[in-house]
Chains A and B, each alone.
Chain A
Amino acid sequence: MIEADLVVIGAGPAGMSAARQAVEAGLSVVLLDEQKRAGGQIYRNVAHVSPARADILGPDVTRGGQLVAAIQHPRITHIAGASVWQIEGGTRVAYCVNGVAAVASGKRLLIATGAIERPMPVPGWTLPGVMNAGAAQILVKQSGMVLENAVLAGCGPLLYLVAAQMCRAGSPPLALVETQSTADLLSALRHWPGALRGWRHLVKGLGLLAEIRKAGVKRYSGASAIAVDGADHAEAIRFTVRGRQHCLSCETVLLHHGVVPNTQTARSIGVPHEWQARQRAFVPTRDEWGRSPQNGVFIAGDGAGIGGALAAELAGAISALQIAGDLDALTPAQRDAAARPLRRALRGELALRPFLDRAYPPYQGALSPADETVVCRCEEVTAGEIRKFAKLGCLGPNQAKAFGRQGMGPCQGRYCGLTVTELLAAENGQSPDVTGYYRIRPPIKPVTLGELASMPATGWQPNGKQENDREN
Chain B
Amino acid sequence: MKRDLAVRRLDEPGRPVVVRLDGRDLELCDGGNLAAELLAAGIEPFRRTPVSGAPRNPFCMMGACFDCLVEIDGVTRQACMTEVAAGMTISRPGAVSETKND
Contacts and interface: CB of A to CB of B under 8 A. Distances in A.
Contact of A128 (B11, B37, B56): B56
B8 interface: yes
Contacts of B54: 126, 380
Interface in B16-73: 32-33, 36-37, 39-40, 44-46, 49, 51-52, 54-67, 69
Contacts of B81: 34, 83
A143 interface: yes
A56 B59 contact: no
B33 A378 contact: no
Interface string A93-136: 00000000000000000000000110000000011111110110
B88 interface: no
Given A116-B64, A380-B51, A144 B59 contact: no
Nearest to B10: A144
Nearest to A378: B66
A231 to B, nearest CB: 9
A131 B58 CA distance: 7
Interface in A148-165: 148-150
A252 B58 CA distance: 12
Given A128-B45, A379-B51, A41 B62 contact: yes
Given A140-B10, A233-B3, A411 B64 contact: yes
Nearest to B3: A233
A345 interface: no
Contacts of A53: 10-11
Contacts of B86: none
B69 A145 contact: no
Given A143-B33, A411-B64, A148 B59 contact: no
Contacts of A171: 8
A145 B9 contact: yes
B62 A138 contact: yes
A36 B83 contact: yes
Interface string A441-463: 00001101010000000000000
A379 B54 CA distance: 11
Contacts, number: 125
A232 interface: yes
Contacts of B76: 446
A232 B6 contact: no
Interface residues of B, number: 42
Interface size class of A (residues with CB under 8 A): 35 or more
Nearest to A414: B64
A147 B42 CA distance: 12
Interface in A43-60: 50, 52-53, 56
B76 to A, nearest CB: 8
B57 A139 contact: no
Nearest to A415: B65
A232 B55 contact: yes
B7 A377 contact: no
B44 A128 contact: yes
Contact of A232 (B7, B36, B45, B51): B45
A134 B60 contact: yes
Contact of A145 (B8, B55, B78): B8
Contact of A129 (B9, B37, B52, B57): B57
A302 interface: no
Given A128-B45, A145-B40, A116 B60 contact: yes
A357 to B, nearest CB: 22
Interface in A229-249: 232-233
Contacts of A131: 57-61
Given A128-B44, A380-B51, A380-B52, A135 B60 contact: yes
A169 interface: yes
Contacts of A445: 63
A144 B58 CA distance: 17
Contacts of A169: 8, 10
11 contacts: A83-B63, A117-B60, A131-B59, A135-B58, A135-B61, A143-B36, A143-B40, A148-B6, A378-B49, A378-B66, A414-B65
Cβ-closest 9 pairs across A and B: A128-B57, A148-B6, A143-B36, A135-B61, A410-B66, A144-B11, A138-B61, A144-B10, A380-B51
